[in-house]
Amino acid sequence: MYSASDLRKGLKIQVDGEPYIVTEFEFSKPGKGQALYRTKMRNMITGTQFTNTYRSNDKFEKPDLEERTMQFLYSQDDEYHFMDTSSYEQIFLTREQLGDNLNFLIDNMEVNVLFFGDKPIDVSLPTFVNLVVTKADPWVKGDTSGTDTKPVTVETGHVLQVPPFIEEGEKIQIDTRTGEYMTRVKD
Amino acid sequence: MLIPQRLQQRSQLLQAVRLFFHSRAYLEVDTPVRLPLLLPEAHIRPLRADGGFLQTSPELCMKRLLARGCSRLFQVCHCFRKDECGRLHQEEFTMLEWYRAGWSYTQLMAECEDLVRFLAAWLPELAGVIGTDALAREGKTVSLASPWERLTVDEAFRSFGDISAREALEQNMFDEVLVTRVEPRLGWERPVFLYDYPVELGSLARSRADNDTVAERFELYIAGIELANGFSELTDPEEQRRRFVLEIEKAREYGNSDGQMPEKFLADLVRLGETAGIALGLDRLFMLLMGCDTVSEAMTMSPEDL
C-alpha cells in the first residue's frame, strides 16, 4: 500500500481497480491545516487524464505491473501478436493500444510489454530502431531549391523527413521517442 | 546548497532579524529542540527522536519562559514536521517565533509588518526586493507600503470561495477551499493579514470577547504564500485543557498524537498574563526577499544535498 505522502511524479498507483501514473503533483498544506496532495494522473490503460486532491489518510494499492521482453510475431486485422521468448507464451495488443509505436514496429523486433495482472496494456520499443527506406525521391545533385530535407517512406509505411542523400533501399536509424531521423546505417 | 554569495545574503538577513528584535528590547532565547512531549496539534506530524520528539515549534518552551516573567522573547530555531515536502515545505526548516507580553494580535500584526519592511529596506540589493519597499514575485510587484490589508477569514471565504468559513468548516472543506480558492488570491497588491479564524482552528488562541465562535488568530500572506501565524494567546488553563482534549481527539484520528496532556505547560499557564505570539517561516520569507522559486533554494542545505 502507498499512502498519500508517497505520491510523487512518476509513481504508479491503483485507483478504482485501474493502474494510473502520476503526471503532475503538488503538496499543499496550511501551517495548521490538513495536508492536501493535488494529483494529476493518467490511466495507463485508457490514457485518460484524471485530477484529484488526496488527504493524508488516503491509501492506494500498488498496481500489479510487470514488464516482459517479447518478440513481435505478426499482425492479423487489428491484432498484433507477441511471444515471450522464454516461455513461448503468446499475447496480442490492439492497433489502438499500440498507437504511434506502429510507426516503428517490424517483424521479430524485441520489445518490452507491460502487463497489468495478466493483461498486456502497453509496449515500449527500443529507443533506436533501424528501418529500411522503401520509397524515396532520387537525390538530384546540384539541387538549388534550398531544402535540406526530403520526405521518405520506411518499411512500416511511416513517412519522415531525412537528409536529401538518403536513397531507396538504404537503412536508417530512427529515435522512437521523437520519430526523428538519426543517421544512415551501413550493414 | 547555497553558493557563497547566497550564503552571505542569508547571513545578512539573519543578522538583520536579530538587529530588529534587539533594537526593540527583545531577549533572544534558545530552548531545547528535543522534547519529551509536544503541544497537541491535529495536523502536524512530529518526528520521533529516541524516546522524545523533535519540536514542531518552540511554542511550549517559550510560553513557559513567559509565564516565569519574561515579557519580550524571540527565537530563531529549526523545527521538524514529518512528511511535509514540496515547493514551500521541507521537513526541517527555520522558524522565527516571538512573543510580547501585554499585547494582543492586532499589535503583533503591525510589528510583523514592521519586520518585513525593515528587512527589505535593510537589504534592497536582494533579487526579490524592488526599491526599498516592494517585492517582485512572478512578474508582479507587491507593495510593502503601510498599511497592509486586513481581511477576516469569513470575508475572504465569501469573496473568493463563495462559501462562509463556518459552512466550509462544517463540510470538512475548510483547508481545501483555503488552499485552492482563497490563498492563490491573497497578497498580490500588498501583503494581507487574514484574521479571526473559526475557534476550532485556534486551539491555543483566545476567542474574541464579542464573538466566541472566532479565535484571535491571524496569518500573513504575501503573493499567495502563507508566511506567519500569530494569535492572542489563550491564558485560561481550564479553557486550554478543554481545547487540548478536542485537539488530541482530532490528532489521534490522523495518527499524529500519543494523547499526552502537557500538564507542566498547563500548570505554568496560570501565571501567563495577556500575551501575543507569532511564528514565521523564515526560509519562506528569505525565499521571497532573495527572489528564489522554492523554499529549499533559500535554505543553507536541503535534504537533497545530504
Residue where a domain stops, chosen among A92, A124, A156: A124
Closest CA relative to residue B194, chosen from B223, B143, B152: B152
Contact A35 B43 (CB under 8 A): yes
Q: Contact B285/B299 with Cβ under 8 angstroms?
A: no
**Domains held by chain A: number:** 3
- Quote ipTM for the complex: 0.89
Contact B254 A33 (CB under 8 A): no
pLDDT confidence of residue A186: 84
Contact B86 A57 (CB under 8 A): no
Task: Based on the fold, state whether residues A83 and A111 are members of the same structural domain.
Answer: yes
The 10s digit of each residue's pLDDT in A85-135 is 889 999 999 998 898 899 999 999 999 999 999 999 989 999 999 999 999
B contacts of A34 (beta carbons < 8 Å): 43, 175, 254
Residue A8's CATH number: 2.30.30.30
Alpha-carbon distance of A100 to A98, in angstroms, equals: 6
Q: How many CB atoms are closer than 10 A to CB B17?
A: 23
Contact A30 B178 (CB under 8 A): yes
Which three cell numbers mark B168? 466550509
In this predicted structure, the answer to whether residue B257 has a pLDDT above a threshold of 90 is no
pLDDT confidence of residue A146: 63
- Which residues of chain B approach chain A closer than 8 Å at the C-beta? 41, 43-44, 83-89, 174-176, 178-180, 183, 201, 219, 226, 229, 254, 279, 281
Mean pLDDT value across residues A169-182: 94
pLDDT confidence of residue A148: 81
Mean pLDDT value across residues A177-186: 92
Residue where a domain stops, chosen among A124, A147, A173: A124
Alpha-carbon distance of B153 to B219, in angstroms, equals: 10
Which of A26, A33, A53 minimises the CB distance to B43? A33
In this predicted structure, the answer to whether residue A138 has a pLDDT above a threshold of 90 is no
In this predicted structure, the answer to whether residue B179 has a pLDDT above a threshold of 70 is yes
In B, minimum Cα distance to A53 occurs at B176
Residue A94's CATH number: 2.40.50.140
The 10s digit of each residue's pLDDT in B201-232 is 999 999 999 999 999 999 999 999 999 999 99
The CATH T-level fold of domain B4-305 is: BirA Bifunctional Protein; domain 2 (3.30.930)
Task: Based on the fold, state whether residues A7 and A56 are members of the same structural domain.
Answer: yes
Contact B89 A27 (CB under 8 A): yes
Going through chain B in order, the beta strands assigned E by DSSP cover 27-28, 34-35, 48-49, 52-54, 72-80, 92-101, 129-130, 134-137, 140-143, 149-152, 192-198, 207-208, 211-222, 225-232, 275-281
- Which residues of chain A approach chain B closer than 8 Å at the C-beta? 5, 26-36, 38, 53, 56-57
pLDDT confidence of residue B304: 87
Closest CA relative to residue B202, chosen from B215, B212, B218: B215
Which range among A136-150, A162-176, B139-153 has the greatest average pLDDT?
Answer: B139-153
Which of A29, A53, A56 minimises the CB distance to B254? A56
The 10s digit of each residue's pLDDT in B105-152 is 999 999 999 999 999 999 999 999 999 999 999 999 999 999 999 999
Task: Based on the fold, state whether residues A37 and A73 are members of the same structural domain.
Answer: no
A contacts of B47 (beta carbons < 8 Å): none
Domain range holding A113? 65-124
Alpha-carbon distance of A116 to A110, in angstroms, equals: 19
Task: Based on the fold, state whether residues A18 and A50 are members of the same structural domain.
Answer: yes
Contact B180 A35 (CB under 8 A): no
Residue where a domain stops, chosen among A60, A87, A107: A60
pTM of the model as a whole: 0.84
Mean pLDDT value across residues B79-98: 96
